[in-house]
Structure 1
Amino acid sequence: MHTVWKGNLTFGLVSIGIKLHSAVEEKDVKLISIHKDCLVPIRHEKIAPGCDDDAIEPEDIVKAYEYGPHQYVILNNNELDALKKEYEVKAVDIMSFVQLEEIDPVYFDRSYFISPTPGSEKAYLLLRQALERTGKIGLVKISLRSRQHLAIIRVLDDCLILETIHYPDEVRTVDQVPNLPDADQFTIQTKELVAAITLVNQLTVRFDPEAYQDEYRSALLDLIELKIEQEDIVKPVINPNRDLGSIMEALSASIEQTKPAPKKPARTKKASL
């Protein structure tokens, strides 16, 4: 499992060497855009409208913040790197402990499994058992993906897991939601409420994540496999008058499209982590 972060987690005076591993694997089906006639992948060039240059080179691109209409302040890489270095969290300190129920799910962002580095297994186990016995979660700050995050540490089965959460100013408030009905505007009959509660109770089950799947993704993959089996595929037409660059792009696309389709792995039930 790929390591996305490595460092120390401090629990009071106890230091635990840890590694973070992404707990989520994106399963989107990647589709690309190609030209419908010659079947060459579309290349999106960076341009500046109104500029004399046809295409912008990477070295000509700088970071800026628009503080007013068409008014920018430019931030160079040295300034940004210095700021990131100053506020980078290299060691994760548990600042406090809270109840998980106190944090609304709207705050949660990404999840990472935590594993101990060699020699830190006992301290890791100590923290895990302490969280299990108290029912608490740890509140920390950590630097991931070039920014500082607020996060919590909790127990999932036999593993510690870190979940980044949004800062309060990143979460919109309920009063910004339009057209919310007021309870004084409508009269809910007792029999209507009883019927609704009865329906909720009848549909209540224990949550089993294995019982759900992305039906659209499965159907899309089935459609793609069917087209491959029926040889309903297309090959790019190469125009000999094109320049070498365009021909090489078409050849590269042809090589990719004529590769043997990978065998579909047998579906097995995921083991509990």
Structure 2
Amino acid sequence: MCSAWRFCLSVYDDLSPRGISGSSITCRCGTVLASAWGMPRTSRAMSSATLSLGLVAIPVGIHATRRREGRISYHLVHAKDGSRVKRQYVCEEEGVPVESDELARAYEGEEGEVVMSKEEAQAALPKATGRIDLIEFIPAETTDPVYFDNAYYLSPGKGGDRAYHLLAETLRDGGSVGVGTQLARGKSYLVAVRASQLGLVMHTLHHDEEVHREQQVPHGEPGRMSASEREMARSLVVQLGKKAFDPSKFEDEADQSLRKVIAEHEDKEGAHAAAGNGHARKKKSAKDGQVVDLLQALRASLEGAPKKRATRSRATRSRSPGRRRAARRGRAGRARPYAARSARSSSTRPRTRGRAR
């Protein structure tokens, strides 16, 4: 670590609360500070809300739990030249493109489709309140994971630290989960708020009508199981048992396989960058080559211009047998004067350079 590490640490401390990733701050010696000291990167809140239970209101920030960086992403391109493609809406009836301002929404009604404009549909949706209303508290073990959808970390907002941690401690000690609703982005969400090791986590839940009943799934017949089979099953579970779930032990095999194929393609194409569009790189290289070829072509054209003009003039003069014979006689007569002029010009240039000195 270089002597500037204290300054780097102070920079990290100043920038981290603003949501700037520690992994992007690198010391002058090349050491990435966040990985060197294991500093957690600060997550910026996606949005803010007020956690409301009775007369208590706790300001909170809502943070995503899923990381998008580090994952392989792609976009659709034209396989022929690697150019990106764009999506276009086409009318099935007329077969013509439809612009965005001509689009409407068709909802399924009991007697068919009901067409509404975007503004009319948005006016019918509930308005966002900015609140997470906790209505009831239930034992944590009674919440069925089948209903869980997305998860979000909650952080205390300005002035809400004490109330935030008081609620987290109460839920943690009592093993309870708060259930309520949130109106946001034109939807009514069913949510559950639980305590984690450090704070609070909010889960969006599926509504009851969105979940299939387990009774709708065929489970077959259990049949007769012997005591030895049961004992072997228990022994296997005990043998493979762990104290806690550690997701870092499991690797994404599909992601690794895809990265391997991408690396092989990059090696074949002669690419040096670890990420980017292969077609775009090839396209850029071809463009650079065209620039070099153009310069060479211009230079060659300038050097060969007099010869080409002479060739064109001879070709222009030789149009008939009589003119060809006259041209040959003329060239024979002009050969010596041209040589004399060349000699005079070559003998004149050294004297000019001598006078310049």
The TM tier, using the shorter chain, reads 0.7 to 0.9
TM-score relative to the length of structure 1: 0.77
2:148 paired with 1:103: no
2:249 paired with 1:211: yes
Specify which of 168, 171, 176 is matched with residue 131 of structure 1.
171
Corresponding residue for residue 170 of structure 1: 210
Structure 1 residues 258 and 161 mapped into 2: Cα distance closer, same or farther (>3 Å)? farther
TM-score relative to the length of structure 2: 0.60
C-alpha deviations, 1:249-272, integer Å up to 9, x for none?
xxxx7379759xxxxxxxxxxxxx
Deviation at 1:124, TM superposition (A): 0.9
Specify which of 179, 182, 188 is matched with residue 148 of structure 1.
188
Corresponding residue for residue 82 of structure 1: 123
Segments of 5+ residues of structure 2 without an aligned counterpart are: 1-42, 272-278, 286-357
Corresponding residue for residue 113 of structure 2: 72
Deviation at 1:204, TM superposition (A): 1.2
Deviation at 1:210, TM superposition (A): 1.4
Structure 1 residues 84 and 2 mapped into 2: Cα distance closer, same or farther (>3 Å)? farther
Q: Report the identity percentage.
A: 25
Structure 1 residues 91 and 34 mapped into 2: Cα distance closer, same or farther (>3 Å)? closer
Specify which of 221, 227, 232 is matched with residue 259 of structure 2.
221
Deviation at 1:225, TM superposition (A): 2.9
C-alpha deviations, 1:30-52, integer Å up to 9, x for none?
23333332332333321122x22
How far apart are the structure 1 equivalents of 2:270 and 2:224?
Answer: 58
How far apart are the structure 1 equivalents of 2:176 and 2:282?
Answer: 51
Specify which of 223, 229, 232 is matched with residue 192 of structure 1.
229
Corresponding residue for residue 32 of structure 1: 75
Match of 1:93, SS state, is strand
Q: Is the 8 A contact 2:135 2:180 kept in 1?
A: yes
Specify which of 83, 91, 98 is matched with residue 48 of structure 1.
91
How far apart are the structure 2 equivalents of 1:256 and 1:153?
Answer: 50
Specify which of 220, 227, 239 is matched with residue 202 of structure 1.
239
How far apart are the structure 1 equivalents of 2:184 and 2:262?
Answer: 36
Q: Is the 8 A contact 2:126 2:187 kept in 1?
A: no
Deviation at 1:2, TM superposition (A): 3.3
Q: How many residues align?
A: 234
Structure 1 residues 257 and 111 mapped into 2: Cα distance closer, same or farther (>3 Å)? farther
Task: Point out 4+ residue stretches in structure 1 off by more than 3 angstroms.
Answer: 253-259
How far apart are the structure 2 equivalents of 1:209 and 1:5?
Answer: 27
Corresponding residue for residue 254 of structure 1: 280
How far apart are the structure 2 equivalents of 1:207 and 1:257?
Answer: 47
Deviation at 1:161, TM superposition (A): 0.9
- Which structure has more helix as a fraction of its residues? 2
How far apart are the structure 1 equivalents of 2:73 and 2:284?
Answer: 17
How far apart are the structure 1 equivalents of 2:281 and 2:50?
Answer: 46
Between 40-49 and 15-24, the greater mean CA deviation after superposition: 40-49
Higher relative contact order (CA 8 A, sep 6+): 1
2:146 paired with 1:120: no
Deviation at 1:201, TM superposition (A): 1.7
How far apart are the structure 2 equivalents of 1:188 and 1:152?
Answer: 39
Segments of 5+ residues of structure 1 without an aligned counterpart are: 234-252, 260-273
Q: Is the 8 A contact 2:193 2:203 kept in 1?
A: yes
Corresponding residue for residue 181 of structure 1: 220
- Cα RMSD (Å): 2.5
C-alpha deviations, 1:110-164, integer Å up to 9, x for none?
1111111111111111111111221111112112443111111111111211111
Q: Which amino acid letter does the alignment assign opposite residue 181 of structure 1?
A: G
Corresponding residue for residue 243 of structure 1: none
Corresponding residue for residue 161 of structure 1: 201
Q: Which amino acid letter does the alignment assign opposite residue 92 of structure 1?
A: I
Deviation at 1:74, TM superposition (A): 1.4
Corresponding residue for residue 37 of structure 2: none
2:109 paired with 1:61: no
Deviation at 1:5, TM superposition (A): 2.5
Between 17-26 and 59-68, the greater mean CA deviation after superposition: 59-68
How far apart are the structure 2 equivalents of 1:36 and 1:6?
Answer: 43
